[in-house]
């Protein structure tokens, strides 16, 4: 879980907004920043897209704006974050419990209906506050990518459920909204996750790091994207922050091990880590995916641990499970870029560096990306791809039989929907 402050602006946003607005002016004049491939994309509409992400860490809503045609990223805009209050997080935790009993994607019994209404409302409020804070005209936004909140992910049963009402959000924002990104992939036999690799690949094109490079996202579940010139290879690797967050909440009432302080003081029980890693999931090749609570049983073996030792052991489990994927990749990675909440945990970063040596390990911020906002940016990018009918997932990322478009487009009623102001690349 990401320990961040409570209102929407991040410290780099003023600079980002200035750069973004200058880039937008250049785009409208015929030039594009941020991509060495822009001349190749000449004539393809560049869309101003907002992405929204509420991840399995249940920490809050990330929002980010980019300009993209779904292939290149022409400009990066401002980002923001709206944390969940304790009672809001509790509602979502109850929704996760209720989600376990779902047998249909459309069911919203009991607490799930309340949670879906909350998710939709808070995402709408977050976008409107984001636009106001940054002085952005709502009518200039071409599309919003809305992931929603995952409450169940069982690809083996062809079932994935993200709560959040896309059509209602489109009406509230008076902008087109793309939602339900995972369902088509799962219905076609894919894992439905991870979805971000195609965006990781776009970012990595301009990355000055030796290949192969892996982008590691440590959210509630950890996942990787392997980039080496061919199609991206991706999978979930195992528990990310979810087990540690749940352990800290149960033992201390705190939502996370802030800065990895408890783990830094604790002793790792390598035997416990080895027993969990004996699960067949960790021996399976990519692609593969996990539900947030797939390894919740691991916390059942921790009552006798001190808080520090439990935090250290669960952090080591995350790092070790990432290392387990290396033998399944075409080549050993030479560089790892870490994003998501785990990038804010120095103890976890140290453990990753130890387990992944001799490869280099750096945070996304260290290479000029935004560790906190990559997933939100990705759903802006994926929304643009959906509008163009481009694939979101691939056989090498989710195991789907063929490259698969995805997402559902919800458009507001015409009276509430000004015409998009498309910008041209090149």
CA distances from 94 to 88, 100, 113, 317, 331 (A): 10, 10, 12, 26, 42
The per-residue pLDDT for 304 is: 86
- For residue 416, give the DSSP letter: G
Cβ neighbours around 175 below 10 Å, total: 25
- For residue 129, give the DSSP letter: H
Asked if the domains 13-191+408-424 and 197-367 are classified in one and the same CATH topology, the answer is: yes
Nearest Cα neighbor of 227 from 212, 240, 216 is 212
Direct distance between the N- and C-terminal alpha carbons of the chain, in angstroms, rounded to an integer: 40
pLDDT in tens, 311-370: 999 999 999 999 999 999 999 999 999 999 999 999 999 999 999 999 999 999 999 999
What is the CATH class of 13-191+408-424?
alpha beta
Say if residue 194 is preceded by a cis peptide, omega within 30 of 0: yes
pLDDT in tens, 141-180: 999 999 999 999 999 999 999 999 999 999 999 999 999 9
Contact 77, 20 (CB under 8 A): yes
Nearest Cα neighbor of 234 from 276, 290, 171 is 290
List the structure tokens of 122: 């808070």
- pLDDT of 1 > 50? The answer is no
CA distance 194 to 381: 14
pLDDT in tens, 239-249: 999 999 999 99
Pairing assessment for the beta strands 45-53 and 143-146 based on DSSP bridges:
parallel
CATH architecture of 197-367: 2-Layer Sandwich (3.30)
Domain ranges of the chain: 13-191+408-424, 197-367
Conformation bin of residue 150: beta by default, left when phi > 0, alpha when psi is -120 to 50:
beta
Cβ partners under 8 Å of residue 122, min gap 6: 61, 82, 84, 88
């Amino acid at each position: 879980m990401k320990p961040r402050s409570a209102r929407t602006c991040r410290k780099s946003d003023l600079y980002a907004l200035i750069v973004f607005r200058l880039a937008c002016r250049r785009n409208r004049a015929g030039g594009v920043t941020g991509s060495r491939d822009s001349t190749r994309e000449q004539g393809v509409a560049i869309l101003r897209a907002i992405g929204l992400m509420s991840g399995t860490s249940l920490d809050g809503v990330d929002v980010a704006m980019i300009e993209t045609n779904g292939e290149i990223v022409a400009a990066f805009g401002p980002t923001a974050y709206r944390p969940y209050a304790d009672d809001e997080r509790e509602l979502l935790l109850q929704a996760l419990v209720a989600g376990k009993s779902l047998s249909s994607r459309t069911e919203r019994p009991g607490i799930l209906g309340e949670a879906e209404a909350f998710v939709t409302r808070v995402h709408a409020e977050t976008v409107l506050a984001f636009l106001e804070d940054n002085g952005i005209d709502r009518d200039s936004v071409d599309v919003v990518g809305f992931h929603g909140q995952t409450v169940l992910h069982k690809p083996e049963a062809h079932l994935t459920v993200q709560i959040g009402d896309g059509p209602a959000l489109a009406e509230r924002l008076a902008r087109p909204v793309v939602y339900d990104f995972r369902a088509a992939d799962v219905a076609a036999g894919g894992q439905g996750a991870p979805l971000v690799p195609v965006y990781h690949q776009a970012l990595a094109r301009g990355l000055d790091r030796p290949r192969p490079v892996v982008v590691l996202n440590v959210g509630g579940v950890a996942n990787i994207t392997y980039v080496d010139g061919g199609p991206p290879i991706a999978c979930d690797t195992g528990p990310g922050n979810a087990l540690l967050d749940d352990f800290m909440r149960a033992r201390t009432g705190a939502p996370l091990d802030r800065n990895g302080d408890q783990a830094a003081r604790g002793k790792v029980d390598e035997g416990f880590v080895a027993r969990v890693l004996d699960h067949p999931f960790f021996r399976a090749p990519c692609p593969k995916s996990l539900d947030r609570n797939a390894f919740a049983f691991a916390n059942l073996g921790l009552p006798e641990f001190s808080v520090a030792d439990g935090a250290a052991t669960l952090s080591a489990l995350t790092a070790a499970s990432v290392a387990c994927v290396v033998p399944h990749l075409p080549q050993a990675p030479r560089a790892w870029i870490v994003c998501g909440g785990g990038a804010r945990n120095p103890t976890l970063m140290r453990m990753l560096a130890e387990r992944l040596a001799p490869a280099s390990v750096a945070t996304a911020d260290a290479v000029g990306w935004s560790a906190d906002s990559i997933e939100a940016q990705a759903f802006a990018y994926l929304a643009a791809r959906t509008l163009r009918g481009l694939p979101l997932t691939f056989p090498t990322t989710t195991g789907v039989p063929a490259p698969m478009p995805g997402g559902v487009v919800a458009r507001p009623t015409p009276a509430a929907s000004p015409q998009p102001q498309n910008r041209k690349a090149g």
